[in-house]
Amino acid sequence: MRTYLDFEKPIADLEARLEETKKLAQTSNVDVSEAVNILEQSIDKLRREIFQNLTRWQRVQLSRHPDRPYTLDYISLMCDQFIELHGDRTVRDDPAMVGGFCELGDQTVMIIGQQKGRNTKQRQYRNFGMPNPEGYRKALRLMKLAEKFNKPIITLIDTPGAFPGLEAEERGQGEAIARNLKEMFMLTVPVICIVIGEGASGGALGIAIGDKVLMLENTWYSVISPENCSTILWRSWDFKEQAAEAMKLTARDMKSNKLVDEIVEEPLGGAHNDHQGMANHLKEVILNTIAQLSALDPQERINQRIDKFCEMGVVVE
């Protein structure tokens, strides 16, 4: 069963009518091809109208859509072969952070990303996509391994934030993220970071220092979620839509403020409508970006990476 968001209900109603019409054709000898064609055109037109005029809060909702592809979905759809690597060599393996070597076309890359779950059991196992310190230490270990073998690094960002529990703080959550920021600036191989869903706070930034930072069309990237911003400012979650508008956290906002380098378009209706189409497009974008970055000298890449982040937030009068 497909999941429809509130603003997708008109589409859901038309698609339900389409299914009923198709069932009628199967159970009777009535020719309904014309009616089916009209309904399909109406659905396509309505979907275009809705998705061309999305509010910031609606894009936040799309980034959290339960049918949206997660890191392991992209890996299975884009990669010909994937060897997952586990553990941070200090505490344990963190299932909220996955990574390993994979074949992307004719290119071997290290791919790392946060992983959410589809059902209650998986969400508990993956800790709702919120990594512990060992997740960030595992990510850094894999990045250093990629650097050793001179392989590009791809990170897929989709987290509501790093796990804020007491045990995570006791094991050095802040230090683990801070170390990742420092070390990622100095990696000698190409680093491409892609926000595929939620990009919240330091939990996202801990694997988001790259030569190119990309965002899928219906994603968000901010220091805080609209709900938490609303709670701080208005002492209630009821103003989350106003908070989202004020925060300017969508891909278009990030691109206009020069905080990300490129927006990756999604299929009509969002990535959850066409997993394979989204994966194919993202794979093409990644391979083209790797080719551009590989042409640069490693030190030149590092210098450009540092300069790009140092220029963020600087005001010149």
Any residues with CB less than 8 A from the CB of 71 and at least 6 apart, and which? 98, 113, 114, 115, 156, 158, 196
In the predicted model, is pLDDT for residue 29 greater than 80? no
Any residues with CB less than 8 A from the CB of 124 and at least 6 apart, and which? 117
Rounded (to 5) percent helix, strand, coil in the chain: 55, 15, 30
The pair of three-digit structure tokens given for residue 120, joined into one six-digit string: 């209650």
In the predicted model, is pLDDT for residue 36 greater than 90? no
Tell me the pTM: 0.93
| pLDDT computed for residue 229 by the predictor | 96
pLDDT digits (tens, 9 = 90+) for 45-66: 999 999 999 999 999 999 999 9
| pLDDT computed for residue 306 by the predictor | 96
Check residues 109 and 317 and name the one with the higher pLDDT: 109
pLDDT band at 35 (very low <50, low <70, confident <90, very high): confident
Measure the CA–CA gap between 314 and 184, rounded to whole angstroms. 21
In the predicted model, is pLDDT for residue 317 greater than 80? no
Average confidence score pLDDT of the chain:
95
Closest CA to 239 of 62, 57, 8, 65: 57
| pLDDT computed for residue 51 by the predictor | 93
Check residues 19 and 177 and name the one with the higher pLDDT: 177
| pLDDT computed for residue 118 by the predictor | 93
pLDDT digits (tens, 9 = 90+) for 115-143: 999 999 999 999 999 999 999 999 999 99
| pLDDT computed for residue 22 by the predictor | 85
In the predicted model, is pLDDT for residue 211 greater than 90? yes
Average pLDDT of the residues in 217-236: 96
| pLDDT computed for residue 31 by the predictor | 78
Average pLDDT of the residues in 259-270: 95
| pLDDT computed for residue 75 by the predictor | 97
pLDDT digits (tens, 9 = 90+) for 88-107: 999 999 999 999 999 999 99
Measure the CA–CA gap between 217 and 227, rounded to whole angstroms. 21
